[in-house]
């Protein structure tokens, strides 16, 4: 227990050493000093709470919120001192908010518990005591030998011991881990591969030493020591022997493996990323507004306290005859009395801080996020993928984006490669009808119609067929003839590859006559023009981003040892000593200018002595437990030198649909687009031009191939000068990775100045961390712009996590980007609707929601403050405590929530076809200081009208009723409250542009509910209430004709100013959005002179009503026929589920 506590506090980390020792089948040594290591059990825990810690932990997290903590303090103050309102008035809303949030979080955690129990209770088979034992997944221990059958998922991280195949190989898919659907081959070490039965495995005596758990899916360093009779055999273990939890066994009957990492120490569990908390600009504004309102509250409380004592300076007010002080009150400390009064006023006015704002915003974000997933325009039919929301906290941030950072491959392009051209021995070739044809030769010419391959061509194609990680569907490799029919015609082979480039090249080689027919054990089989050849695979030098190349060492049928290498031209050409290097370099640049992805291919022959040397070095590096990566990198560099260049390939990655239109729309919306890619300079520029990121008329500036700080700084100064001189035309900037590193090191400000003055920026040859650095640079610049990053691969994850909003593309490079993103979409073109429609709506909705909440609470509490001037600051409350409690919870909560879910101030099609409307909401325009000030002043104005209007109309009327019954303070307070509930509800109705039956129901239903509730509350004597000051008050109020007159007059007086202001502003200073509302008819709505259609039998006031509704941008959707023409840009057939009511009606 003590050790566990120390571990939790961080004093005693569970893993003291860098490695762990695992005894297979838990056969611990009988003699010698053995210190048992403690490993985690195999339970997966994704839940946040337990039954025991839910209440304290959840309460702690909720009271970290300023508003919740503030109301807790107020509640405690009400309990401790004599305050004018009951503790229930603060306690009940607080309890409601805390309970609703706790239920939501508890339910989500219960679902996680349920999923965990399902996984942990799954049945598995373990080798114990010479037989197979069925047990639960959570009972597997490190060292257990586990059996996994075909199509089952691995329950732990296993080191492969054997399979049903003689060579100990098996195929797995890791789609659930990284999204890659290709089959990956894993191989057991030869000494354990032969142990294919439970009895043999039970006799195995072996020890595994490996690194402690780490999150990297593709890294594993270890070694296995097998005891065979008198000798010990040591074999290296790498990623190719490790089967990860969550991966699935394919094309293999069964495998046996030993558990090395269990439970929360598996690589899958370590990759459960707790998302860094991203806060939206709206949330930051909300917190600022809360502070301002807190200051207003303190000011009102202090002023009221001072005025109370100023008033009581006169003896007749200090101690009137009807309220004499007790002896204790006369002798009490003045300071304590002042503090007590201050706290009492604080409690009286505390409702100016809206406690239900947080829970309403949470509900709005959570429920509103479903609209993105339900939108059929964001559904991709070909891949059956719909948009995905991973966090609903940033919905409104989609409407504030100023910079978009996008990857190129798989994001702007399809990531579907097609072989186009190649260069072999300095000659360019194209594929014509399944034949390699030299450039300039047609198929009919003598050279173009040959059926054999030259020696250089054949060697080049063999290199392409042997140097890869492509797999073939196992069903096609069965049988003696393999994929070849008896007539010699090849049946099409189905290739699987983690890299689309490799797949395209192997397929191209098979079409021109050199076919990769699969692997058998450690051999690779190739058919060259129908003639089978078998190459023994000796070593694979895996691809890594630093080397930017991969290699294989094979033994040819003649016994020759050959190295085949392929990779980026920057990593192959400098290492080549012979071949047509200069010609190939020119061809590579030509391919890049056409927008093709380029790879260079080279080879090297080894003498027996050289091969013996590299074999020894490789074995030493691969069995090292410390610094294995560094040692392997050194050995790889030693091997991959003195190469003979064979040629280069050019593969096309075609653009996704509507990329050009989407980028142009983003530009019109005032959003700057930066493309960050790992591709070479020429390829990236070519794709930028073709996708519309760079225009042909744009002046393209370059900051590339700089090796020193001084040259980089000089070039930056020249670029800045050039931009100032040519400020009329648009500029585009191209920068590469090395120059960027130099620019960010010493000349950050100058670099940022150049970038901001460019319309488009292209960064090529970028490492993943450099992408994140660029995003961070923009994010932290003085303007603090809102950034969005979009990508599809693992190399984009850091950029996606760094940006304010991260979007993952469900592409072909795995699911890492999607897993780590805030939102996921299937295609880049969907970005326009996500920002211009959903982002626009979410921002408008939540901006109005936040400000309306503050407005209605100012309306609520200011009359309370004004009332103190009429009751000698005696802290008498104006409203009944039940009304105080239910105002925010019941009477005014639903209309604003429904508004914040369904409001559409402009039709989605218009927003998308006019991206310029996005500029109206940029830079937090609707939540700035001016709108906030307007809503606050409006709240104070309405509150003054409520109070003084009621006072002037009813305050002096001492005989409210015909029977002469006196007018009391509760009647006056109820009149003010009634006017207030109706006015704030009608104010929400005025703000609503898109009416559905739900809006009508909650708007008018809230007012009706208030009246019905008040009649029942005041019309019945409730036995559980201590006092009932409101008995029959509401009934008497409504029975007075003058009260009804006052209610109508005050409500009209409040809202009339609002209507006039809206009409004048729309007429004199309309925004682009308001103009779009007026001209919406011209976009396809079949109305002649209004955006609203009216049926026959209209009244004489129709023209006035029509003008007002037109000026205010109001429309009833049930009376509008929105029929869009097929020629409209973007989504002609708008299938958005946001439309909740019928849109069809007879044409006007």
- DSSP letter at 728 equals S
3-state helix, strand and coil shares in percent for the chain, rounded to the nearest 5: 50, 20, 35
Residues paired with 401 in a beta bridge: none
- 89, 602, 881, 1024, 1028 from 1021: Cα distances, Å: 20, 95, 16, 9, 7
- 451, 461, 599, 733, 978 from 526: Cα distances, Å: 18, 10, 21, 46, 87
Q: How many residues does the chain have?
A: 1148
Lookup: tokens for 670: 């005032």
Q: Which of 341, 377, 407, 736 is catalytic?
A: 407
DSSP letters for 1058-1093: HHHHHHHHHHHS--HHHHHHHSGGGGTB--SS-SS-
Q: How far is C-alpha 652 from the geometric centre of its chain's CA atoms? A: 30
Q: How far apart are CA 350 and CA 410, in angstroms?
A: 54
- DSSP letter at 875 equals -
Lookup: tokens for 209: 């030493």
CA atoms within 13 A on the CB side of 868: 24
DSSP letters for 769-824: HHHHHHHHHHHTSTT---EEEEE-SGGGHHHHHHSSEEEEE--SS-SHHHHTSSEE
**Helix/strand/coil for 825:** strand
Q: How far apart are CA 916 and CA 826, in angstroms?
A: 25
Cβ neighbors of 1142 (< 8 A, separation 6 or more) are 1117, 1118
- 172, 390, 408, 414, 989 from 500: Cα distances, Å: 18, 28, 15, 10, 55
Q: How far apart are CA 645 and CA 586, in angstroms?
A: 14
Lookup: tokens for 191: 């000494």
Helix axes 709-725, 748-756, angle to 10 degrees: 30
Q: How far apart are CA 357 and CA 363, in angstroms?
A: 10
- Tracing tokens 């109370």 back to the chain, one arrives at 308
Q: How far apart are CA 879 and CA 429, in angstroms?
A: 88
DSSP letters for 490-551: BPPP-EE-SSHHHHHHHHHHHHTTEEEEEEETTEEEEEETTEEEEEEEEEEEEEETTTTEEE
- DSSP letter at 656 equals P
Rounded to 5 degrees, φ, ψ at 812 are -100, 5
Lookup: tokens for 195: 């142990």
407 is catalytic: yes
Q: How far apart are CA 695 and CA 667, in angstroms?
A: 12
Q: Output Rg (C-alpha) for the chain, integer angstroms.
A: 37
Rounded to 5 degrees, φ, ψ at 1079 are -95, 10
Q: How far apart are CA 386 and CA 256, in angstroms?
A: 38
Is the distance from CB of 926 to CB of 844 less than 8 angstroms? yes
Cβ neighbors of 988 (< 8 A, separation 6 or more) are 852, 895, 896, 899, 1003
Q: How far apart are CA 182 and CA 171, in angstroms?
A: 10
* Residues belonging to the active site: 407
């Amino acid at each position: 227990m003590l050790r566990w506590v120390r571990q939790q506090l961080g004093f005693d980390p569970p893993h003291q050493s860098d490695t762990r020792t695992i005894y297979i089948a838990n056969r611990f040594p009988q003699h010698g000093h053995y210190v048992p290591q403690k490993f985690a059990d195999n339970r997966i825990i994704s839940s946040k709470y337990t039954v025991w810690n839910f209440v304290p932990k959840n309460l702690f997290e909720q009271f970290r919120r300023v508003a919740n903590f503030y109301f807790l303090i107020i509640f405690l103050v009400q309990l401790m001192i004599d305050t004018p309102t009951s503790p229930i008035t603060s306690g009940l809303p607080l309890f409601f908010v805390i309970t609703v949030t706790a239920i939501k979080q508890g339910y989500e955690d219960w679902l996680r518990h349920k999923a965990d129990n399902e996984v942990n209770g799954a049945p598995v088979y373990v080798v114990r005591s010479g037989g197979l034992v069925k047990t639960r997944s959570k009972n597997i221990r490190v060292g257990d030998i586990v059996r996994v059958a075909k199509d089952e998922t691995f329950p732990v991280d296993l080191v492969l011991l054997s399979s049903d195949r003689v060579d100990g190989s098996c195929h797995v898919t890791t789609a659930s881990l990284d999204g890659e659907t290709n089959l990956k081959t894993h191989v057991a070490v030869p000494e354990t591969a032969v142990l294919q039965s439970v009895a043999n495995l039970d006799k195995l005596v072996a020890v595994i030493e490996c690194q402690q758990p780490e999150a990297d899916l593709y890294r594993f360093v270890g070694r296995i020591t097998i005891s065979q009779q008198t000798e010990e055999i040591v074999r290296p273990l790498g990623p190719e022997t490790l089967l990860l939890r969550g991966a699935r066994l394919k094309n293999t009957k069964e495998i046996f493996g030993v558990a090395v990492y269990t439970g929360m120490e598996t690589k899958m569990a370590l990759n459960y990323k707790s998302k860094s908390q991203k806060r939206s600009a709206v949330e930051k504004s909300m917190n600022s507004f809360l502070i301002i309102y807190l200051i207003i509250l303190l000011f009102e409380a202090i002023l009221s306290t001072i005025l109370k004592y100023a008033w009581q300076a006169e003896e007749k007010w200090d101690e009137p005859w009807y309220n004499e002080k007790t002896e204790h009150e006369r002798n009490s400390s003045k300071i304590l009395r002042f503090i007590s009064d201050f706290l009492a006023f604080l409690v009286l006015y505390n409702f100016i801080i809206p406690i239900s704002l947080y829970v309403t915003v949470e509900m709005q974000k959570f429920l509103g996020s479903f609209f993105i997933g339900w939108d059929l325009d964001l559904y991709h039919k070909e891949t059956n993928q719909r948009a995905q929301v991973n966090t609903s906290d940033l919905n409104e941030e989609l409407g504030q984006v100023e910079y978009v950072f996008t990857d190129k491959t798989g994001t702007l392009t399809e990531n579907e490669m097609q072989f186009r051209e190649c260069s072999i021995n300095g000659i360019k070739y194209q594929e014509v009808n399944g034949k390699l044809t030299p450039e300039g030769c047609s198929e009919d010419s003598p050279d173009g119609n040959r059926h054999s391959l030259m020696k250089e061509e054949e060697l080049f194609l063999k290199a392409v067929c042997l140097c890869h990680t492509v797999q073939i569907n196992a069903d096609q490799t069965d049988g003696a003839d393999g994929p070849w029919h008896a007539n010699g015609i090849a049946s099409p082979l189905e290739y699987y590859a983690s890299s689309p480039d490799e797949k395209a090249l192997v397929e191209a080689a098979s079409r021109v006559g050199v076919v990769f027919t699969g692997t058998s054990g450690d051999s690779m089989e190739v058919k060259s023009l129908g003639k089978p050849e078998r190459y023994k695979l000796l070593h694979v030098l895996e691809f890594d981003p630093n080397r930017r190349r991969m290699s294989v060492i094979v033994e040819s049928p003649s016994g020759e040892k050959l190295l085949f290498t392929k990779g980026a031209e920057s990593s192959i050409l400098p290492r080549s000593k012979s071949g047509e290097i200069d010609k190939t370099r020119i061809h590579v640049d030509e391919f890049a200018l056409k927008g093709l992805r380029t790879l260079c291919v080279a080879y090297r022959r080894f003498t027996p002595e050289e091969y013996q040397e590299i074999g020894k070095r490789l074995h030493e590096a691969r069995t090292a437990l410390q610094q294995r990566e560094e040692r392997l990198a050194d050995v790889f560099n030693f091997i991959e030198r003195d190469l003979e260049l064979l040629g280069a390939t050019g593969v096309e990655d075609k653009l996704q649909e509507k990329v050009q239109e989407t980028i142009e729309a983003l530009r019109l919306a005032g959003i700057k687009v930066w493309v960050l890619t790992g591709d070479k300079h020429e390829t990236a520029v070519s794709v930028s031009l073709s996708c519309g990121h760079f225009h042909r008329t744009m002046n393209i500036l370059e900051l590339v191939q700089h090796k020193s700080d001084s040259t980089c700084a000089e070039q930056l100064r020249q670029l800045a000068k050039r931009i100032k001189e040519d400020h009329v035309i648009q500029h585009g900037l191209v920068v590469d990775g090395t120059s960027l590193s130099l620019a960010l090191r010493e000349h950050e400000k100058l670099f940022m100045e150049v970038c901001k003055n460019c319309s488009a920026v292209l960064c090529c040859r970028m490492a993943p961390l450099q992408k994140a650095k660029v995003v961070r640079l923009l994010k932290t610049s003085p303007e603090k712009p809102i950034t969005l990053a979009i990508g599809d691969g693992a190399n984009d994850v850091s950029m996606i996590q760094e940006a304010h909003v991260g979007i993952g593309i469900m592409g072909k490079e795995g699911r890492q980007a999607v897993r780590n993103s805030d939102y996921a979409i299937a295609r880049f073109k969907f970005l326009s609707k996500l920002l211009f429609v959903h982002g626009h709506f979410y921002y408008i909705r939540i901006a109005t929601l936040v400000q309306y909440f503050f407005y209605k609470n100012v309306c609520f509490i200011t009359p309370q403050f004004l009332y103190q001037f009429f009751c000698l600051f005696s802290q008498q409350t104006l409203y009944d405590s039940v009304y105080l409690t239910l105002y925010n919870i019941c009477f005014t909560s639903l209309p604003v929530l429904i508004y914040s879910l369904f409001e559409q101030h402009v039709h989605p099609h218009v927003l998308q076809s006019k991206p310029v409307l996005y500029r109206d909401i940029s830079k937090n325009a609707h939540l700035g200081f001016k709108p906030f000030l307007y809503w606050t002043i409006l709240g104070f104005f309405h509150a003054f009208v409520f109070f003084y209007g009621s006072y002037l109309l009813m305050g002096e009327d001492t005989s409210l009723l015909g029977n002469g019954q006196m007018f009391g303070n509760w009647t006056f307070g109820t009149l003010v409250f009634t006017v207030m509930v109706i006015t704030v509800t009608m104010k929400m109705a005025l703000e609503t542009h898109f009416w559905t039956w739900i809006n009508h129901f909650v708007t008018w239903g809230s007012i009706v509910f208030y009246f019905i509730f008040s009649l029942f509350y005041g019309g019945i004597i409730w036995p559980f209430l201590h006092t009932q000051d409101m008995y029959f008050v509401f009934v008497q109020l409504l029975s007075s004709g003058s009260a009804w007159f006052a209610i109508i007059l005050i409500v009209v007086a409040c809202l009339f100013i609002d209507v006039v202001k809206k009409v004048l502003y729309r007429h004199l200073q309309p925004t682009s959005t308001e103009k779009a509302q007026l001209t919406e008819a011209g976009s396809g709505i079949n109305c002649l002179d209004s955006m609203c259609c009216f049926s026959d039998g209209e009244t004489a006031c129709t023209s006035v009503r029509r003008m007002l509704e037109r000026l205010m941008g109001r429309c009833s959707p049930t009376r509008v026929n929105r029929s869009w023409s097929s020629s409209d840009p973007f989504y002609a057939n708008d299938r958005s589920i946001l439309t909740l009511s019928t849109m069809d009606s007879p044409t006007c």
